[in-house]
Structure 1
Amino acid sequence: MSGTKPGTTVRIRLTDSPISRLGYWWATAVGFTWGFIWSTGPIRRRNGLIVFTGMPNWTFGRGGSCVGGCYLTGANDGDRVLGHEAVHREQWRRYGMLFPLLYLIAGRDPLRNRFEIEAGLEAGGYLPRGSAPRRATPRPGRASSTP
């Protein structure tokens, strides 16, 4: 590279960066296309999300899926769940196309998945309303922080 000293490294920031936002917009385009093809219900904008309802069950995971700025669901579109999904939208914005990989690494158990915990387990329908938040249980072979 011209203008840099020998031995100088160029750091590319992958989160909260133009690169992650480009990934967010790509994912949004994919989610929009998928939702446009399969949605049979109203399509509207709520909580900063483009919400596609009336989707066949096989086109999304669990009660619904956030892909970029799109939320794909059959009919699970209440205010509480949309608040939860709006947090996932922000996670997409922060991590871009790294988000699906990081989510996979965090695990399928929503009670241990840091992204689901951040979005709110109760609002996401993973805990009954009014229940106390669950604390992460120690993994086998690790010392517990409580006596």
Structure 2
Amino acid sequence: MRLRQLIGEVALDSSLSRLGCRFATAVALLYGAPLSVGRIERHDGMIVLHGLPKWAFKRGGVCIGRVYLTDTNVSSRVLRHELRHVRQWERYGMLFPVLYFLAGSNPLKNRFEIEAGLADGNYVRTGGGRRKAS
């Protein structure tokens, strides 16, 4: 139990996790900025890159570090949802993509999407499945 606590202190909400978030932010900017044909703006410490092609992300957009990559999916509710993902990146750092993958691709069961707010993320049920509305 002590080892688990020590790992948590070093890896979660730590300078190491924040360094991972900064690294992910740099990667996202290097990836997204050249693809963006829209505005680049700041929103409560998050960088929002508009106008990316649909193939550049899944669903309505993706948050990597402090960067939200999207085409036009920028309602106030969606931005609130993505800001919660920024907080998750800060808490988990580079562990976040691994933990997110392990949580599964179904957003209605993925603990990180639930924590970020399914309604704000615009997740809806459709007749035979689930999708993220644009």
- Please report how far the alpha carbon of residue 61 of structure 1 lies from its aligned counterpart in structure 2 after TM superposition: 1.4
Q: Which one has a larger percent strand, Structure 1 or Structure 2?
A: 2
- Please report how far the alpha carbon of residue 60 of structure 1 lies from its aligned counterpart in structure 2 after TM superposition: 1.1
- Is 1:93 paired with 2:90? yes
- TM-score with structure 2 length normalisation? 0.85
5+ residue gaps, structure 2, are: 126-134
Moved over 2 A (4+): none
Alpha carbon RMSD of aligned pairs, Å? 1.3
- TM-score with structure 1 length normalisation? 0.78
Give the distance between the partners of 1:23 and 1:68, measured in 2 at CA. Answer: 8
2:42 is paired with a residue whose SS is strand
Counting aligned pairs with the same residue, the percent is 54
Corresponding residue pairs, total: 119
5+ residue gaps, structure 1, are: 1-8, 129-147
Task: Give 1:58's aligned residue.
Answer: 55
Q: Structure 2 residue aligned with 1:119, among 116, 119, 123?
A: 116
Can you list the C-alpha shifts for 1:13-71, whole angstroms capped at 9, x where unaligned?
11111111110000000111112110000000013210000001111111000000000
| Structure label with greater radius of gyration | 1
- Of structures 1 and 2, the one scoring higher in RCO (CA 8 A, sep 6+) is 2
